[in-house]
Amino acid sequence: MRELHVMLDEGGNNAILLYLQKIRAVRLYTTLILEMKDYSIQIERIKSKLLEAAKVDTAFKAFGATRHRYYIHKPVSIEEVNTFERKYAVDLPDCYKSFVLQIGSGGKSYANSGAGPFYGIYPFGEGVDELIYDNTEKYIKNESILHPEMKNDDWSKVIEKIEDDNISDNDYEKELGRIFGGILPIGSQGCSYLHGIILNGAYKGKVVNIDQELNKPHFTFEDNFLDWYERWLDEVISGDLLVESPTWFGYTMGGSEEKLLEVYKNGSNGVDKTDGLNGLLKKKTLDSLTLDLIEEFYLQTPEENSNLLLQILVKHKHRSWKEHLIKRGEDDLLTVFQYIFWYDKANSANWKEYITNHIDQITNSETFRFCTYLLKECNFDYGNLVQGFIKHADKDIRSTTIYSLSGLSNKEDYLDTFIIGLNDDSNKVIHSSLQALSGIKNEKLLIHYKKIADRFPVEKDYILSNLKHRLAEFKMDLNWIRKS
Protein backbone atom coordinates (compact mmCIF):
# COMPACT_ATOMS: atom_id res chain seq x y z
CA MET A 1 0.00 0.00 0.00
CA ARG A 2 2.93 2.36 0.58
CA GLU A 3 3.58 2.28 -3.19
CA LEU A 4 -0.07 3.26 -3.82
CA HIS A 5 0.13 6.20 -1.33
CA VAL A 6 3.19 7.53 -3.14
CA MET A 7 1.29 7.42 -6.39
CA LEU A 8 -1.66 9.29 -4.82
CA ASP A 9 0.64 11.95 -3.39
CA GLU A 10 2.13 12.49 -6.84
CA GLY A 11 -1.33 12.66 -8.44
CA GLY A 12 -0.43 9.95 -10.90
CA ASN A 13 -3.79 8.61 -12.07
CA ASN A 14 -2.16 6.66 -14.92
CA ALA A 15 0.39 5.22 -12.52
CA ILE A 16 -2.42 4.11 -10.20
CA LEU A 17 -4.20 2.40 -13.08
CA LEU A 18 -1.04 0.59 -14.12
CA TYR A 19 -0.41 -0.43 -10.54
CA LEU A 20 -3.92 -1.87 -10.18
CA GLN A 21 -3.55 -3.70 -13.50
CA LYS A 22 -0.29 -5.15 -12.23
CA ILE A 23 -1.99 -6.41 -9.07
CA ARG A 24 -4.80 -7.88 -11.14
CA ALA A 25 -2.34 -9.65 -13.45
CA VAL A 26 -0.45 -11.12 -10.49
CA ARG A 27 -3.71 -12.35 -8.96
CA LEU A 28 -4.80 -13.88 -12.28
CA TYR A 29 -1.46 -15.61 -12.70
CA THR A 30 -1.49 -16.88 -9.09
CA THR A 31 -5.06 -18.15 -9.46
CA LEU A 32 -4.29 -19.92 -12.72
CA ILE A 33 -1.15 -21.57 -11.40
CA LEU A 34 -3.02 -22.76 -8.30
CA GLU A 35 -5.81 -24.20 -10.44
CA MET A 36 -3.42 -25.91 -12.86
CA LYS A 37 -1.85 -29.28 -12.23
CA ASP A 38 1.49 -28.75 -10.55
CA TYR A 39 4.30 -29.41 -13.03
CA SER A 40 6.77 -27.16 -11.21
CA ILE A 41 9.35 -29.89 -10.50
CA GLN A 42 9.27 -31.11 -14.09
CA ILE A 43 9.43 -27.53 -15.39
CA GLU A 44 12.62 -26.88 -13.43
CA ARG A 45 14.04 -30.17 -14.69
CA ILE A 46 13.29 -29.20 -18.28
CA LYS A 47 14.91 -25.78 -17.85
CA SER A 48 18.07 -27.46 -16.59
CA LYS A 49 18.06 -30.11 -19.32
CA LEU A 50 17.58 -27.49 -22.03
CA LEU A 51 20.83 -25.87 -20.96
CA GLU A 52 22.55 -29.27 -20.75
CA ALA A 53 21.34 -30.29 -24.21
CA ALA A 54 22.82 -27.11 -25.68
CA LYS A 55 26.16 -27.95 -24.05
CA VAL A 56 26.10 -31.55 -25.32
CA ASP A 57 25.06 -30.73 -28.89
CA THR A 58 27.40 -27.86 -29.64
CA ALA A 59 27.72 -29.09 -33.24
CA PHE A 60 23.91 -29.06 -33.63
CA LYS A 61 23.75 -32.68 -34.81
CA ALA A 62 20.19 -33.28 -33.63
CA PHE A 63 17.66 -32.85 -36.40
CA GLY A 64 16.53 -29.21 -36.58
CA ALA A 65 19.10 -27.99 -34.06
CA THR A 66 20.87 -25.85 -36.65
CA ARG A 67 17.62 -23.88 -36.83
CA HIS A 68 16.48 -23.53 -33.22
CA ARG A 69 19.95 -23.74 -31.58
CA TYR A 70 18.30 -24.67 -28.27
CA TYR A 71 17.09 -21.11 -27.85
CA ILE A 72 13.65 -20.12 -26.61
CA HIS A 73 12.18 -16.67 -25.93
CA LYS A 74 10.74 -15.54 -22.61
CA PRO A 75 7.41 -16.92 -21.34
CA VAL A 76 4.08 -15.44 -22.37
CA SER A 77 1.79 -13.56 -20.00
CA ILE A 78 -1.32 -14.89 -18.35
CA GLU A 79 -3.34 -12.30 -20.30
CA GLU A 80 -2.13 -13.80 -23.58
CA VAL A 81 -3.19 -17.28 -22.48
CA ASN A 82 -6.60 -16.05 -21.30
CA THR A 83 -7.16 -14.11 -24.53
CA PHE A 84 -6.34 -17.18 -26.60
CA GLU A 85 -8.64 -19.43 -24.61
CA ARG A 86 -11.51 -16.93 -24.86
CA LYS A 87 -11.02 -16.45 -28.59
CA TYR A 88 -11.11 -20.16 -29.38
CA ALA A 89 -13.38 -21.25 -26.50
CA VAL A 90 -10.85 -23.85 -25.33
CA ASP A 91 -9.17 -24.81 -22.09
CA LEU A 92 -5.57 -25.49 -23.03
CA PRO A 93 -3.92 -28.54 -21.44
CA ASP A 94 -2.12 -27.64 -18.21
CA CYS A 95 1.08 -29.28 -19.43
CA TYR A 96 1.23 -26.94 -22.42
CA LYS A 97 0.20 -23.86 -20.45
CA SER A 98 2.89 -24.59 -17.88
CA PHE A 99 5.46 -24.67 -20.68
CA VAL A 100 4.53 -21.34 -22.31
CA LEU A 101 3.97 -19.59 -18.98
CA GLN A 102 7.11 -20.80 -17.22
CA ILE A 103 9.65 -21.87 -19.85
CA GLY A 104 9.09 -19.77 -22.94
CA SER A 105 7.57 -19.26 -26.37
CA GLY A 106 9.11 -18.83 -29.81
CA GLY A 107 12.69 -18.53 -30.92
CA LYS A 108 14.99 -18.60 -33.95
CA SER A 109 13.82 -21.62 -35.91
CA TYR A 110 11.33 -22.11 -38.76
CA ALA A 111 8.28 -19.84 -38.30
CA ASN A 112 10.07 -18.28 -35.30
CA SER A 113 9.79 -21.55 -33.38
CA GLY A 114 11.60 -22.12 -30.11
CA ALA A 115 13.78 -25.07 -29.14
CA GLY A 116 12.04 -28.41 -29.46
CA PRO A 117 11.76 -31.64 -31.47
CA PHE A 118 12.29 -31.34 -35.25
CA TYR A 119 12.02 -27.62 -36.13
CA GLY A 120 10.87 -26.65 -32.67
CA ILE A 121 7.73 -25.36 -30.96
CA TYR A 122 5.67 -22.63 -32.58
CA PRO A 123 5.36 -19.30 -30.78
CA PHE A 124 2.25 -19.30 -28.62
CA GLY A 125 -0.87 -18.46 -30.63
CA GLU A 126 0.76 -18.97 -34.05
CA GLY A 127 0.25 -21.74 -36.58
CA VAL A 128 -3.25 -22.37 -35.22
CA ASP A 129 -4.83 -22.68 -38.67
CA GLU A 130 -2.24 -24.99 -40.25
CA LEU A 131 -4.58 -27.99 -40.09
CA ILE A 132 -7.92 -26.27 -40.54
CA TYR A 133 -7.65 -23.39 -42.97
CA ASP A 134 -11.12 -21.87 -42.56
CA ASN A 135 -13.39 -21.51 -39.53
CA THR A 136 -10.62 -22.61 -37.17
CA GLU A 137 -12.55 -21.21 -34.19
CA LYS A 138 -15.51 -23.43 -35.05
CA TYR A 139 -13.62 -26.71 -35.08
CA ILE A 140 -10.65 -26.33 -32.73
CA LYS A 141 -12.92 -26.49 -29.67
CA ASN A 142 -14.43 -29.83 -30.75
CA GLU A 143 -13.39 -33.12 -29.22
CA SER A 144 -10.77 -34.80 -31.37
CA ILE A 145 -11.90 -37.94 -33.20
CA LEU A 146 -8.31 -39.24 -33.33
CA HIS A 147 -7.09 -41.81 -30.83
CA PRO A 148 -3.92 -43.92 -30.34
CA GLU A 149 -5.64 -47.25 -31.08
CA MET A 150 -6.83 -46.15 -34.53
CA LYS A 151 -6.13 -48.84 -37.13
CA ASN A 152 -5.48 -48.37 -40.83
CA ASP A 153 -9.03 -49.42 -41.71
CA ASP A 154 -10.43 -46.96 -39.16
CA TRP A 155 -8.40 -44.14 -40.69
CA SER A 156 -9.49 -45.09 -44.21
CA LYS A 157 -13.11 -44.62 -43.14
CA VAL A 158 -12.31 -41.28 -41.48
CA ILE A 159 -10.83 -39.82 -44.70
CA GLU A 160 -13.19 -41.54 -47.13
CA LYS A 161 -15.23 -38.40 -47.88
CA ILE A 162 -12.32 -35.96 -48.08
CA GLU A 163 -10.52 -38.18 -50.61
CA ASP A 164 -13.46 -38.13 -52.99
CA ASP A 165 -12.25 -36.36 -56.14
CA ASN A 166 -15.65 -34.75 -56.57
CA ILE A 167 -15.81 -33.14 -53.12
CA SER A 168 -16.59 -29.41 -53.16
CA ASP A 169 -14.24 -26.84 -51.64
CA ASN A 170 -16.78 -26.08 -48.93
CA ASP A 171 -17.25 -29.75 -48.02
CA TYR A 172 -13.48 -30.25 -48.09
CA GLU A 173 -13.03 -27.58 -45.43
CA LYS A 174 -15.80 -29.12 -43.34
CA GLU A 175 -14.08 -32.50 -43.53
CA LEU A 176 -10.76 -30.97 -42.47
CA GLY A 177 -12.54 -29.50 -39.48
CA ARG A 178 -14.13 -32.83 -38.61
CA ILE A 179 -10.88 -34.78 -38.98
CA PHE A 180 -8.48 -32.37 -37.28
CA GLY A 181 -10.84 -30.58 -34.92
CA GLY A 182 -9.67 -30.40 -31.31
CA ILE A 183 -5.97 -30.34 -32.26
CA LEU A 184 -3.61 -27.38 -31.84
CA PRO A 185 -0.60 -27.46 -34.23
CA ILE A 186 2.54 -26.83 -32.16
CA GLY A 187 5.47 -27.40 -34.53
CA SER A 188 6.72 -28.43 -37.95
CA GLN A 189 8.59 -31.63 -38.80
CA GLY A 190 9.26 -30.52 -42.37
CA CYS A 191 7.38 -31.14 -45.63
CA SER A 192 3.73 -31.93 -44.82
CA TYR A 193 4.38 -33.24 -41.31
CA LEU A 194 3.73 -31.47 -38.03
CA HIS A 195 3.04 -32.25 -34.40
CA GLY A 196 -0.09 -31.15 -32.59
CA ILE A 197 -1.51 -31.36 -29.11
CA ILE A 198 -4.93 -32.80 -28.29
CA LEU A 199 -7.04 -30.11 -26.61
CA ASN A 200 -9.85 -32.11 -25.05
CA GLY A 201 -11.26 -35.55 -24.40
CA ALA A 202 -9.59 -38.68 -23.05
CA TYR A 203 -6.23 -37.87 -24.66
CA LYS A 204 -6.06 -34.19 -23.77
CA GLY A 205 -2.45 -33.05 -23.56
CA LYS A 206 -1.00 -35.85 -25.69
CA VAL A 207 1.11 -35.03 -28.74
CA VAL A 208 0.20 -36.52 -32.12
CA ASN A 209 2.25 -36.59 -35.33
CA ILE A 210 0.16 -35.56 -38.32
CA ASP A 211 0.72 -35.68 -42.07
CA GLN A 212 -1.28 -33.05 -43.94
CA GLU A 213 -1.21 -35.38 -46.94
CA LEU A 214 -3.60 -37.52 -44.87
CA ASN A 215 -1.44 -40.48 -43.96
CA LYS A 216 -2.60 -42.02 -40.68
CA PRO A 217 -1.65 -39.92 -37.62
CA HIS A 218 0.77 -41.40 -35.11
CA PHE A 219 0.34 -40.64 -31.41
CA THR A 220 3.47 -40.28 -29.36
CA PHE A 221 3.91 -42.71 -26.48
CA GLU A 222 4.29 -40.14 -23.70
CA ASP A 223 1.31 -39.15 -21.52
CA ASN A 224 1.53 -35.42 -22.21
CA PHE A 225 3.38 -32.60 -23.92
CA LEU A 226 5.90 -32.06 -21.12
CA ASP A 227 6.83 -35.75 -20.97
CA TRP A 228 7.31 -35.73 -24.76
CA TYR A 229 9.43 -32.57 -24.62
CA GLU A 230 11.56 -33.88 -21.75
CA ARG A 231 12.13 -37.16 -23.56
CA TRP A 232 13.45 -35.18 -26.51
CA LEU A 233 15.96 -33.46 -24.24
CA ASP A 234 16.92 -36.78 -22.62
CA GLU A 235 17.66 -38.34 -26.02
CA VAL A 236 19.69 -35.34 -27.14
CA ILE A 237 21.73 -35.50 -23.93
CA SER A 238 22.20 -39.29 -24.16
CA GLY A 239 23.34 -38.98 -27.78
CA ASP A 240 20.52 -41.12 -29.21
CA LEU A 241 19.40 -38.21 -31.37
CA LEU A 242 22.90 -37.07 -32.33
CA VAL A 243 23.15 -39.42 -35.28
CA GLU A 244 22.59 -39.12 -39.00
CA SER A 245 19.02 -37.98 -39.82
CA PRO A 246 17.33 -39.02 -36.54
CA THR A 247 13.85 -38.08 -37.79
CA TRP A 248 12.16 -40.92 -35.92
CA PHE A 249 11.73 -39.04 -32.64
CA GLY A 250 8.18 -39.32 -31.34
CA TYR A 251 7.37 -42.25 -33.60
CA THR A 252 8.93 -44.88 -31.36
CA MET A 253 8.74 -45.65 -27.66
CA GLY A 254 11.31 -44.16 -25.31
CA GLY A 255 12.60 -45.29 -21.95
CA SER A 256 15.28 -47.49 -20.46
CA GLU A 257 16.48 -50.74 -21.99
CA GLU A 258 14.83 -52.59 -19.11
CA LYS A 259 11.48 -50.93 -19.73
CA LEU A 260 11.59 -51.59 -23.49
CA LEU A 261 12.54 -55.23 -22.96
CA GLU A 262 9.64 -55.57 -20.53
CA VAL A 263 7.24 -54.13 -23.11
CA TYR A 264 8.46 -56.65 -25.67
CA LYS A 265 8.21 -59.59 -23.29
CA ASN A 266 4.84 -58.80 -21.74
CA GLY A 267 3.21 -55.88 -23.52
CA SER A 268 1.95 -52.88 -21.57
CA ASN A 269 -1.46 -51.19 -21.47
CA GLY A 270 -2.40 -52.33 -24.94
CA VAL A 271 0.92 -51.21 -26.48
CA ASP A 272 2.13 -53.47 -29.25
CA LYS A 273 5.05 -55.66 -28.17
CA THR A 274 7.05 -54.61 -31.20
CA ASP A 275 7.02 -51.02 -29.91
CA GLY A 276 9.54 -52.17 -27.31
CA LEU A 277 11.81 -53.59 -30.02
CA ASN A 278 11.53 -50.46 -32.16
CA GLY A 279 12.53 -48.39 -29.15
CA LEU A 280 15.60 -50.56 -28.58
CA LEU A 281 16.52 -50.37 -32.26
CA LYS A 282 16.72 -46.58 -32.08
CA LYS A 283 19.09 -46.53 -29.11
CA LYS A 284 22.58 -45.32 -29.91
CA THR A 285 24.10 -48.10 -27.79
CA LEU A 286 22.82 -51.16 -25.96
CA ASP A 287 24.29 -53.05 -23.05
CA SER A 288 25.89 -56.40 -23.93
CA LEU A 289 23.51 -58.18 -21.56
CA THR A 290 20.56 -56.63 -23.40
CA LEU A 291 21.96 -57.84 -26.70
CA ASP A 292 22.43 -61.33 -25.31
CA LEU A 293 18.75 -61.35 -24.34
CA ILE A 294 17.81 -60.13 -27.80
CA GLU A 295 19.80 -63.02 -29.27
CA GLU A 296 17.92 -65.46 -27.05
CA PHE A 297 14.61 -64.01 -28.20
CA TYR A 298 15.78 -64.20 -31.82
CA LEU A 299 16.61 -67.88 -31.57
CA GLN A 300 13.26 -68.63 -29.92
CA THR A 301 10.88 -66.10 -31.44
CA PRO A 302 8.08 -66.72 -33.93
CA GLU A 303 8.76 -65.49 -37.46
CA GLU A 304 6.67 -62.31 -37.00
CA ASN A 305 9.34 -60.56 -34.92
CA SER A 306 12.52 -62.28 -36.01
CA ASN A 307 13.55 -59.66 -38.58
CA LEU A 308 13.31 -56.85 -36.03
CA LEU A 309 15.30 -58.80 -33.46
CA LEU A 310 17.96 -59.59 -36.05
CA GLN A 311 18.05 -55.94 -37.08
CA ILE A 312 18.88 -54.94 -33.50
CA LEU A 313 21.69 -57.51 -33.36
CA VAL A 314 23.15 -56.27 -36.65
CA LYS A 315 22.86 -52.57 -35.88
CA HIS A 316 24.47 -52.93 -32.47
CA LYS A 317 27.08 -55.41 -33.70
CA HIS A 318 26.34 -58.27 -31.35
CA ARG A 319 29.23 -60.71 -31.36
CA SER A 320 27.25 -63.28 -33.40
CA TRP A 321 25.51 -60.86 -35.79
CA LYS A 322 27.37 -61.98 -38.95
CA GLU A 323 26.68 -65.62 -38.23
CA HIS A 324 22.96 -64.95 -37.81
CA LEU A 325 22.82 -62.71 -40.87
CA ILE A 326 24.51 -65.26 -43.15
CA LYS A 327 22.16 -67.95 -41.89
CA ARG A 328 19.19 -65.69 -42.73
CA GLY A 329 20.57 -65.33 -46.25
CA GLU A 330 19.73 -68.95 -46.98
CA ASP A 331 16.12 -67.92 -47.61
CA ASP A 332 16.07 -64.10 -47.34
CA LEU A 333 18.79 -62.26 -49.27
CA LEU A 334 16.89 -58.98 -49.16
CA THR A 335 17.21 -58.73 -45.38
CA VAL A 336 20.93 -59.52 -45.61
CA PHE A 337 21.61 -56.85 -48.22
CA GLN A 338 19.45 -54.24 -46.47
CA TYR A 339 21.04 -54.72 -43.07
CA ILE A 340 24.57 -54.64 -44.48
CA PHE A 341 23.77 -51.45 -46.39
CA TRP A 342 22.13 -49.79 -43.41
CA TYR A 343 24.56 -50.82 -40.68
CA ASP A 344 27.82 -52.05 -42.22
CA LYS A 345 28.06 -50.08 -45.46
CA ALA A 346 31.57 -48.85 -44.69
CA ASN A 347 32.72 -52.48 -44.76
CA SER A 348 30.88 -53.47 -47.94
CA ALA A 349 34.12 -54.69 -49.51
CA ASN A 350 34.26 -57.41 -46.86
CA TRP A 351 30.99 -58.76 -48.29
CA LYS A 352 32.12 -58.76 -51.92
CA GLU A 353 32.71 -62.50 -52.06
CA TYR A 354 29.36 -63.21 -50.38
CA ILE A 355 27.54 -60.99 -52.90
CA THR A 356 29.37 -62.54 -55.85
CA ASN A 357 28.44 -66.04 -54.70
CA HIS A 358 24.75 -65.20 -54.19
CA ILE A 359 23.89 -62.69 -56.92
CA ASP A 360 22.54 -65.39 -59.26
CA GLN A 361 19.98 -66.33 -56.61
CA ILE A 362 18.28 -62.93 -56.75
CA THR A 363 14.70 -63.13 -58.02
CA ASN A 364 13.06 -59.82 -57.11
CA SER A 365 13.75 -56.16 -57.87
CA GLU A 366 14.11 -54.91 -54.27
CA THR A 367 16.79 -57.48 -53.46
CA PHE A 368 18.62 -56.63 -56.66
CA ARG A 369 18.41 -52.90 -55.91
CA PHE A 370 20.10 -53.28 -52.52
CA CYS A 371 22.63 -55.66 -54.02
CA THR A 372 23.70 -52.99 -56.52
CA TYR A 373 23.95 -50.41 -53.73
CA LEU A 374 26.46 -52.64 -51.97
CA LEU A 375 28.39 -53.38 -55.15
CA LYS A 376 28.82 -49.66 -55.72
CA GLU A 377 30.16 -49.29 -52.17
CA CYS A 378 32.72 -52.02 -52.90
CA ASN A 379 34.39 -49.63 -55.34
CA PHE A 380 35.30 -51.98 -58.20
CA ASP A 381 34.08 -52.72 -61.73
CA TYR A 382 31.03 -54.86 -61.01
CA GLY A 383 29.64 -54.55 -64.54
CA ASN A 384 30.17 -58.20 -65.46
CA LEU A 385 28.21 -59.25 -62.38
CA VAL A 386 25.08 -57.26 -63.22
CA GLN A 387 24.93 -56.82 -67.00
CA GLY A 388 23.26 -60.19 -67.50
CA PHE A 389 20.20 -58.93 -65.62
CA ILE A 390 19.34 -56.71 -68.61
CA LYS A 391 17.48 -59.76 -69.97
CA HIS A 392 15.54 -60.43 -66.77
CA ALA A 393 11.75 -60.75 -67.04
CA ASP A 394 11.21 -58.03 -64.40
CA LYS A 395 11.40 -54.55 -65.95
CA ASP A 396 12.38 -53.01 -62.61
CA ILE A 397 15.41 -55.30 -62.45
CA ARG A 398 16.31 -54.35 -66.03
CA SER A 399 15.99 -50.66 -65.18
CA THR A 400 18.14 -51.09 -62.04
CA THR A 401 20.75 -52.87 -64.18
CA ILE A 402 21.03 -49.81 -66.40
CA TYR A 403 21.12 -47.45 -63.45
CA SER A 404 23.86 -49.40 -61.67
CA LEU A 405 26.04 -49.57 -64.80
CA SER A 406 25.65 -45.81 -65.32
CA GLY A 407 27.47 -45.25 -62.02
CA LEU A 408 30.69 -46.87 -63.28
CA SER A 409 33.54 -44.67 -64.43
CA ASN A 410 34.05 -47.03 -67.38
CA LYS A 411 30.36 -47.25 -68.29
CA GLU A 412 31.10 -47.00 -72.02
CA ASP A 413 32.57 -50.51 -71.80
CA TYR A 414 28.95 -51.68 -71.36
CA LEU A 415 27.60 -49.86 -74.40
CA ASP A 416 26.01 -53.02 -75.79
CA THR A 417 24.01 -53.46 -72.60
CA PHE A 418 22.76 -49.87 -72.82
CA ILE A 419 21.75 -50.48 -76.45
CA ILE A 420 19.66 -53.47 -75.35
CA GLY A 421 18.01 -51.10 -72.87
CA LEU A 422 17.25 -48.56 -75.62
CA ASN A 423 15.31 -51.25 -77.48
CA ASP A 424 13.45 -52.57 -74.45
CA ASP A 425 9.67 -53.05 -74.40
CA SER A 426 9.41 -51.00 -71.18
CA ASN A 427 9.37 -47.20 -71.32
CA LYS A 428 10.96 -47.17 -67.88
CA VAL A 429 13.99 -49.09 -69.14
CA ILE A 430 14.29 -46.87 -72.23
CA HIS A 431 14.13 -43.78 -70.04
CA SER A 432 16.84 -45.16 -67.72
CA SER A 433 19.03 -46.04 -70.70
CA LEU A 434 18.78 -42.59 -72.24
CA GLN A 435 19.76 -40.98 -68.96
CA ALA A 436 22.60 -43.45 -68.42
CA LEU A 437 24.12 -42.61 -71.81
CA SER A 438 24.80 -39.01 -70.86
CA GLY A 439 28.26 -38.03 -72.05
CA ILE A 440 28.71 -41.03 -74.38
CA LYS A 441 29.03 -39.91 -78.02
CA ASN A 442 29.47 -43.20 -79.82
CA GLU A 443 27.94 -43.10 -83.33
CA LYS A 444 26.63 -46.66 -82.88
CA LEU A 445 23.92 -45.07 -80.76
CA LEU A 446 22.43 -42.91 -83.53
CA ILE A 447 20.53 -45.70 -85.27
CA HIS A 448 18.94 -46.65 -81.96
CA TYR A 449 18.12 -43.03 -81.18
CA LYS A 450 16.34 -42.83 -84.56
CA LYS A 451 14.30 -45.94 -83.70
CA ILE A 452 13.19 -44.28 -80.47
CA ALA A 453 12.30 -41.03 -82.27
CA ASP A 454 10.18 -42.97 -84.76
CA ARG A 455 8.64 -45.14 -82.04
CA PHE A 456 7.54 -42.10 -80.01
CA PRO A 457 5.96 -39.48 -82.30
CA VAL A 458 4.79 -37.61 -79.18
CA GLU A 459 6.20 -37.26 -75.69
CA LYS A 460 5.61 -40.11 -73.29
CA ASP A 461 7.24 -40.77 -69.92
CA TYR A 462 9.85 -38.04 -70.61
CA ILE A 463 11.49 -40.20 -73.27
CA LEU A 464 11.65 -37.53 -75.98
CA SER A 465 12.94 -34.88 -73.59
CA ASN A 466 15.82 -37.17 -72.63
CA LEU A 467 16.39 -38.14 -76.25
CA LYS A 468 16.75 -34.45 -77.13
CA HIS A 469 19.54 -34.13 -74.54
CA ARG A 470 21.39 -37.11 -76.00
CA LEU A 471 21.02 -35.82 -79.57
CA ALA A 472 22.23 -32.37 -78.52
CA GLU A 473 25.53 -34.00 -77.53
CA PHE A 474 25.87 -34.93 -81.22
CA LYS A 475 24.70 -31.41 -82.25
CA MET A 476 21.51 -32.92 -83.67
CA ASP A 477 17.80 -32.62 -82.98
CA LEU A 478 14.62 -34.71 -83.35
CA ASN A 479 13.72 -33.39 -86.81
CA TRP A 480 17.16 -34.22 -88.16
CA ILE A 481 17.25 -37.74 -86.73
CA ARG A 482 13.74 -38.53 -88.01
CA LYS A 483 14.61 -37.41 -91.54
CA SER A 484 17.96 -39.17 -91.66
Structural domain includes residue 335: no
Rounded Cα distance, 263 and 276, in Å: 5
Task: Assess if residue 155 is contained within a domain.
Answer: yes
Residues 26 and 138 in one domain: no
Q: Is residue 423 part of a domain?
A: yes
Condensed to tens digits (0 to 9), the pLDDT of residues 423-472 reads 999 999 999 999 999 999 999 999 999 999 999 999 999 999 999 999 99
Residue 302 lies in a domain: no
User: Do 29 and 136 sit in the same domain of this protein?
Assistant: no
The number of folded domains in the chain is: 3
Residue 271 is predicted with a pLDDT of 65
pLDDT, tens digit, 9 for 90 and up, residues 138-160? 999 999 999 998 999 999 999 99
453 Cβ contact partners less than 8 Å away, ≥ 6 residues apart = 464, 467, 478, 481, 482
Check whether residue 7 and residue 55 sit in a common domain.
no
Domain contains 278: no
On whether both 422 and 484 belong to a single domain, the answer is yes
Looking at residues 367-380, what average pLDDT do you find? 96
Q: Are residues 151 and 6 in the same domain?
A: no
- pLDDT, one tens digit per residue, over 259-280 is 999 999 887 555 678 899 999 9
Shared domain check, 159 and 24: no
Domain stop point among 193, 228, 263: 228
The predicted pLDDT at position 35 comes to 64
**Statement to judge: residues 10 and 110 lie in one domain:** no
**pLDDT tier at 31, thresholds 50, 70, 90:** low
Q: Is there a single domain that holds both residue 137 and residue 10? A: no
Going along 39-159, which residue ranges are E strands?
Answer: none
- Considering the domain architecture, whether residues 109 and 204 belong to the same structural domain is answered as yes
Last residue in a domain, options 202, 228, 254: 228
Q: Would you place residue 33 in the very low, low, confident or very high pLDDT band (cuts 50, 70, 90)?
A: low
Residue where a domain terminates, one of 164, 194, 228: 228
Domain that holds residue 459: 403-484
Give me the pLDDT at residue 37, please. 85
Q: Which pTM was predicted?
A: 0.76
Q: Is residue 210 part of a domain?
A: yes
Residue range 216-237, pLDDT digits in tens: 999 999 999 999 999 999 999 9
pLDDT for 186: 97
Is residue 70 one of the residues assigned to a domain? yes
Share of the chain above pLDDT 90, in %: 83
Beta bridge partners of 214: none
How distant, in Å, are the alpha carbons of 335, 348, 352, 382, 383 from that of 379? 22, 9, 10, 8, 11
Helical residues (DSSP H) of 159-224, grouped into ranges: 169-180
Q: State whether 5 and 76 are in the same domain.
A: no
**What is the rounded average pLDDT for all residues in the chain?**
91
pLDDT, tens only, 70-88: 999 999 999 999 999 999 9
In a domain, 256, yes or no: no
Summarised one tens digit per residue, pLDDT across range 84-121 is 999 999 999 999 999 999 999 999 999 999 999 999 99
What is the pLDDT confidence band of residue 305, given thresholds at 50, 70 and 90? confident
- Based on the fold, state whether residues 167 and 96 are members of the same structural domain: yes
pLDDT top residue among 439 and 9: 439
Residue 27 and residue 43 in one domain: no
Say what the pLDDT of residue 74 is: 96
